[in-house]
A and B are shown apart, each in its own frame.
Chain A
Amino acid sequence: MRPEIAWAEAMKFENRHDPYRFFDELRKTPVARVADDIYVVTGYWELLALAHDPRVSSDISRSPLQAKRAAAQEPPPEAEHLTAYGRQPSMIMSDPPYHDRARRQAMRQFGPPHSPDLIPSMEPGIERLCNELLGKAAGKTRIDIVDEYGYRVPVTVICKILGVPLEDEKAFHAWIFDFMAGLDLGPEAATEEGKVRAAKGRESTAALTEYLRGLIDGYVRKPGEGLLSRLVNDDGPDGPMAPPEAAANALLLLIAGHDSTVNTISHCVLTLLRNPGSVELLRRRPGLIPRAIEEVLRLQSAVQFFPSRSATADIEVGGTVIPEGSAIFLMYGAANRDPGRFPDPGRFDPERRANEHFGWGSGIHTCFGGPLARLEVNVALEVFLQRVENPRLVVDPPPYRRNQIFRGPQHLFIDYDRIREHS
């Protein structure tokens, strides 16, 4: 299969539940050209090298995709989403020193060394919420892990951390849904329906951005609780973040701050139920739960790739020279199944050693919210394992959402015998 065909198949909606067959095809050329100026990296070692290579830029304004979008009346689909994700550069789409400064400013309000207690302080609330949600499922025998469990936990937590009112959740949930559906890198983006979805995605993203700007402007006028307010009112060594930049990062943190967690919780449940004996194994040895989660992240990376990177020089890697100015897609989900790095890569093995997967990226852009997401997934899975008796999948594969980057089930129905009492 030629790389461009394998790439198109991997991006097709009908293959969303399992793009990995096509990633395996692509990996026959670990660094493959799939379009004029797009190189897709599916080999583990090649990806590792490029994620740490300072000649690879994440600055979207340097990407040929951005240039194409600006030049064309009708932007090609792979370019479409890029500006949709925020016109001001967020940290994920920028380079040092700008990136490092922005990340430091945000981390100052979120994690160590300046705010080491924030994330740990969330644990009791997360546990309480997980128990409440399963309490609601107690009288029934079926639950949608996405809507009734996985989504509620991270969205509640991220709202609290950022200082986004939870009562606005209905509105931004719908905007984010449209944004995701409109952000399509597959062949369907060029269809009429695809264009309608893209247009709707643009509208909703604009509405979401406007909403976040308003929120931040409010915090500039009157400081309040949460990371966003502290970010724009900070007197730390890097000063306060400018409101437009804070809005771009708020969009990133709000979306990435819950969506990938939902997908990971869903994929954890899905993977455990697909592999007989694993629920019992983790119940018997809860110490394996953290490693099981990482193994799920290896197999089902919540962010499959992020398409803002490009080459600032000719870069030789894996026997290929990526010409200066080409877009580079680092395919985390594909490299995580490279048999040259992970023996028996398709197998779910919660005891796998040296599991240095790319489920959270690699290098300086490694997931900002990783520790929070992990805490949420750990607690959600622990509570699920403690309380849900005899869980079974209803449909396999479950229906998936359209988006290729933020990949996850739209619903995940499971049946169970009963919900145990909260001990």
Chain B
Amino acid sequence: MRMVVDLNRCQGYAQCVPLAPEVLHLHGEEALMYDPNPDDSLRQHVLRAAASCPVQAIVVDRLDEIGKSS
């Protein structure tokens, strides 16, 4: 799957990191690093992380979502 974090929006709340620890990491106290194309098996974790962001900086591929629902 594909994701991107808008790191201009990101304020380093790090609410997301523990929800998808395989994908998201803190580099120092505030800088976020992530795997932009994580394995599909981590999907629910990534969706939890994306929803958790207080500034909604995590963007997840919507094609997958459309594919899943239809």
When distances are taken between beta carbons in the complex, the residues of chain B under 8 Å from A378 are 19, 48
When distances are taken between beta carbons in the complex, the residues of chain A under 8 Å from B28 are 113
When distances are taken between beta carbons in the complex, the residues of chain A under 8 Å from B44 are 286-287
Check if A362 sits within 8 Å of B19, measured CB to CB: no
Q: Mark B4-22, 1 if CB is under 8 A from A, else 0.
A: 0000000001111111010
Least CB distance, A55 to chain B, in whole angstroms: 19
A354 within 8 A of B: yes
Q: Kindly state the separation between the CA atoms of A116 and B22 in the bound complex, as whole angstroms.
A: 10
The B-contacting residues of A in range 273-329, CB under 8 angstroms, are 284-287, 289-291, 293-294
A21 within 8 A of B: no
A375 within 8 A of B: yes
Q: Kindly state the separation between the CA atoms of A367 and B53 in the bound complex, as whole angstroms.
A: 12
Q: Kindly state the separation between the CA atoms of A118 and B19 in the bound complex, as whole angstroms.
A: 11
Check if B47 sits within 8 Å of A116, measured CB to CB: no
Q: Mark A352-382, 1 if CB is under 8 A from B, else 0.
A: 0011100010100011001110110010000
**Nearest-neighbor residue (CB-CB) of A116 within chain B:** B21
Least CB distance, A161 to chain B, in whole angstroms: 12
When distances are taken between beta carbons in the complex, the residues of chain B under 8 Å from A287 are 43-44, 47, 65, 68
When distances are taken between beta carbons in the complex, the residues of chain A under 8 Å from B52 are 290, 294, 370-371, 374
When distances are taken between beta carbons in the complex, the residues of chain B under 8 Å from A375 are 18-19, 48
Q: Mark B35-56, 1 if CB is under 8 A from A, else 0.
A: 0000000011001101110111
Check if B14 sits within 8 Å of A374, measured CB to CB: no
When distances are taken between beta carbons in the complex, the residues of chain B under 8 Å from A374 are 15, 19, 48, 51-52
Least CB distance, A189 to chain B, in whole angstroms: 32
B26 within 8 A of A: yes
Check if A370 sits within 8 Å of B26, measured CB to CB: no
Partner of A285, one of B17, B19, B68: B68
Check if A285 sits within 8 Å of B69, measured CB to CB: yes
B25 within 8 A of A: yes
Check if B65 sits within 8 Å of A360, measured CB to CB: no
Given contacts A120-B21, A374-B15, A374-B19, contact A113 B26 (CB under 8 A): yes
Q: Kindly state the separation between the CA atoms of A374 and B26 in the bound complex, as whole angstroms.
A: 18
When distances are taken between beta carbons in the complex, the residues of chain B under 8 Å from A284 are 69
Least CB distance, B32 to chain A, in whole angstroms: 10
Q: Kindly state the separation between the CA atoms of A152 and B25 in the bound complex, as whole angstroms.
A: 30
When distances are taken between beta carbons in the complex, the residues of chain A under 8 Å from B65 are 287
**Chain B contact residues, CB within 8 Å of chain A:** 13-19, 21, 25-29, 43-44, 47-48, 50-52, 54-56, 65, 68-69
Given contacts A116-B17, A354-B56, A360-B54, 5 further A-B contacts (CB under 8 A): A112-B17, A112-B18, A112-B25, A294-B51, A374-B48
Can you give 11 A-B contacts (C-beta < 8 A)? A112-B14, A113-B28, A116-B21, A293-B51, A360-B15, A371-B15, A371-B18, A371-B19, A374-B52, A375-B48, A378-B48
Which 6 pairs of residues, A with B, have the shortest CB-CB distance? Answer: A290-B51, A119-B18, A371-B18, A113-B26, A112-B26, A290-B48
